[in-house]
Structure 1
Amino acid sequence: MTTAQQPVRSGFGATSTAEEVIKGIDLTGKVAIVTGGYSGIGLETARILHDAGAEVVVPARDPERARAALKDVPGVEVEHLDLLDPASIDAFAEKFLASGRPLHILVNSAGIMATPLTRDARGYEVQFATNHLGHFQLVERLWPALVAAHGARVVSVSSRGFRFAGVDFDDLNFEHRPYEPFVAYGQSKTANALFAVELDRRGRAEDVRAFSVHPGTIIDTGLAKHLSDDVLRANGAMDEEGRPVRDPDRQLKTVPQGAATSVWCATSPQLDGRGGDYCENCDISPLVAAEDEDAWRAGAATPGVLGYAVDPELAARLWEVSERLTA
């Protein structure tokens, strides 16, 4: 079983920027939360939503750093939130709910990549805990505000990195298998995509719709800090002078291009009545047929999503496991 994954021919593409995809959309009176909204594509997402009229809240583990990064975006509200600390997530959500505001847009943009093996206080591997479980708990706690919006969208920033691994339900935390940073990253990014599938199924009756996105490869956002220059050069993402390579046709994007799909999923009327889809290049990605998987994996420029990342049965199983893990 998989989602439909039918492109809508949006008219945008790999070179589109967040500013371009939101042109003509007025978000006055809307409230948005953007995790990771003080660096990289999260910062650009927060800025664009704010400029379109939304009231934007940016939760941050280091509020002072966030305020400094957002100094040119006046009016953005910064609050404390640590995605690895369940009590912090609850406190942030309780404060937001106490404000009585609906939540129209939630962009789960914060994330880490290819870290050394580290575990949180619960013993959970930190890429899975940060990228998936923290956002899972945040959405569950903010659910009343999403429902109160009477038309909310949740955007889960995934990655083409899902190709590195599915979700290993038998060993989520690498207790019995060798730890490989990109396998752990791939598991967390698959989880991000599956989360959107089941969240959309559960939320559509309340008009809460969800999407996951691949923003592209943007190495100058801090996400790639655990990767050596040699690795980045070998993958064609950095030139010999240490500069990021920009080639949108190969998913090597600028920050404004990288934020475009998140903003499109969060705001575009082209997606009204839809949800649960994995998106890239400002459109819904096509499903890769099993017989085409090897060719797809070999071609970095070809849009698409593998079936295991959008499988409703796996998504429902992940939701149940995540509820147990986050109590």
Structure 2
Amino acid sequence: MTTAQQPLNSGFGAASTSEEVIKGIDLTGKVAIVTGGYSGIGLETVRVLRAAGAEVVVPARDVERARAAVAAVPGAEVEHLDLLDPASVDTFAATFLASGRPLHLLVNSAGIMATPLVRDARGYESQFATNHLGHFQLTTRLWPALAEADGARIVVLSSRGIRFGGVDFDDLNFEHRAYEPFLAYGQSKTANALFAVEADRRGQEQGIRAFAVHPGLIIDTGLAKHLDTAVLRAAGALDDEGRPVRDPERQLKTVRQGAATGVWCATSPRLDGLGGVYCENVDISPLVTPENEAAWYAGENTPGVLPRAVDPEAAARLWEVSERLTA
């Protein structure tokens, strides 16, 4: 059954780093795929997984840029993949399946945030298409390799951006409502969290478990390139000289701190037999309750996940819709 959305008291916290949470874990013989693995917390994830002995494949739309970025990580493989191109997703997955390798760890780390309105060739809004649908198609195409691993984990990067909006099943692509960049981002990140819930439910009998992750706000990764610096200063994320503020208790983290929760979800023995939960600060998040909802929305140091982002009925509905949208 799906794990309760309650902290485990992991022994780690908001300031813990990726190196700290993976210390002592041997991944020799394990195979991992990390989307977005050539920048930011994706690259840090690749680095520590390789250091622990895993074979790591980095799918990338810009292969040459990716190869240059991962050159400092000996042995990391780079293959072409464009999450907005269904044919590219299918080709990547088919090539990996043909290699005969099991897939022990799938970290869906790539993403875009608060972009202007762009539609892909199918007419789908780009944040939903990239952050959710592309990863949905990739994961389902790779499912045989995950099942073959006899104990696989899927880690999906969500975000506290779930606060900006849920999944609007009646207008996923902003065809009938005004487009707002953060509303679309919130929809895609809520979809990421719901995807982990249903993927875990469907995968348990095959030894596949799934986790959604809020990494924190790491603004020096390129993800925030569409945000005005004045907005970031007003939020306290940049100081007066435009430098990133580091305050992990307020989710303002370094890249190594930001990668920690995803690495923990991918590798920690504490999570054996668990799944279908949303995690942050290297632990399972509590549910946001009516009593602490105001503090959570205000951005105070209140961890938690909104119930609508882990609702099993919404998760099952999203899966069925996503199957239709990705054929």
TM interval, short-chain normalised = over 0.9
Aligned to 2:65: 65
Of the structure 1 ranges 70-79 and 294-303, higher mean CA displacement relative to structure 2 is found in 294-303
Partner of 2:170: 170
The 1-side partners of 2:142 and 2:73 are apart by: 24
Partner of 1:287: 287
Structure 2 residue runs of 5 or longer lacking an equivalent are none
Q: Secondary structure at the match of 2:320?
A: helix
Q: Which residue of 2 aligns with 1:256?
A: 256
How big is the shift at 1:291? 3.7
| 1:278-324 per-position Cα deviation (integer Å, ceiling 9, x unaligned) | 00000000011134312221133211001000000000000000000
- Give the Cα separation in 2 of the matches to 1:65 and 1:180: 30
Question: Is the 1:251–1:300 contact (alpha carbons within 8 Å) kept by the matching residues of 2?
Answer: no
Query: CA offsets per residue over residues 169-204 of structure 1, 9 Å max, x none?
Result: 000000011000000000000000000000000000
* In 2: Cα distance, 1:137 partner to 1:219 partner: 28
Listed one character per residue, the Cα deviations across residues 31-53 of structure 1 (whole Å, up to 9, x for unaligned) are 00000000000000011000000
Partner of 1:247: 247
Residues of 2 paired with 1:203 and 1:176: CA distance? Answer: 35
* More divergent stretch after superposition (201-210 vs 283-292): 283-292
Residues 37 and 43, structure 2, Cα contact 8 Å, conserved in 1: yes
Runs of 4+ in 1 over 6 A off after TM superposition: none
CA–CA distance in structure 1, aligned partners of residues 296 and 36 of structure 2: 30
> CA–CA distance in 1 between the matches of 2:118 and 2:140?
25
Distance 2:212 2:290 in 1: 21
* CA shift for structure 1 position 90: 0.2
Question: What is the match of residue 184 of structure 2?
Answer: 184
CA RMSD across the alignment: 0.9
Q: Work out whether residues 3 and 275 of structure 2, in 8 Å CA contact, stay in contact via their aligned partners in 1.
A: no
Q: Helix, strand or coil for the counterpart of 1:257?
A: helix
Gaps of at least 5 residues in structure 1 are: none
Matched, 1:322 2:322: yes
2:88 counterpart of 1:88: yes
Instruction: State the identity as a percent.
Output: 81
Determine the C-alpha separation between the residues in 1 that align with 2:175 and 2:142.
31
Partner of 1:134 in structure 2? 134
1:116 aligns with 2:116: yes
TM-score normalised by length of structure 2: 0.99
What residue is the counterpart of 1:7 in the other structure?
7
Supply the distance in 1 between the matched residues of 2:199 and 2:52 (Cα, whole angstroms): 26
The TM-score with structure 1 as length reference comes to 0.99
- Once the 2 structures are TM-superposed, how far is the Cα of residue 89 of structure 1 from its aligned partner? 0.2
Q: Aligned in 2, Cα 1:140/1:254: closer, same or farther, shift over 3 Å?
A: same
Q: CA deviation at 1:255?
A: 0.1
- Contact residue 33 and residue 57 of structure 1 kept, 8 A: yes
Equivalent-residue separation in structure 1 for 2:30 and 2:267 (angstroms): 11
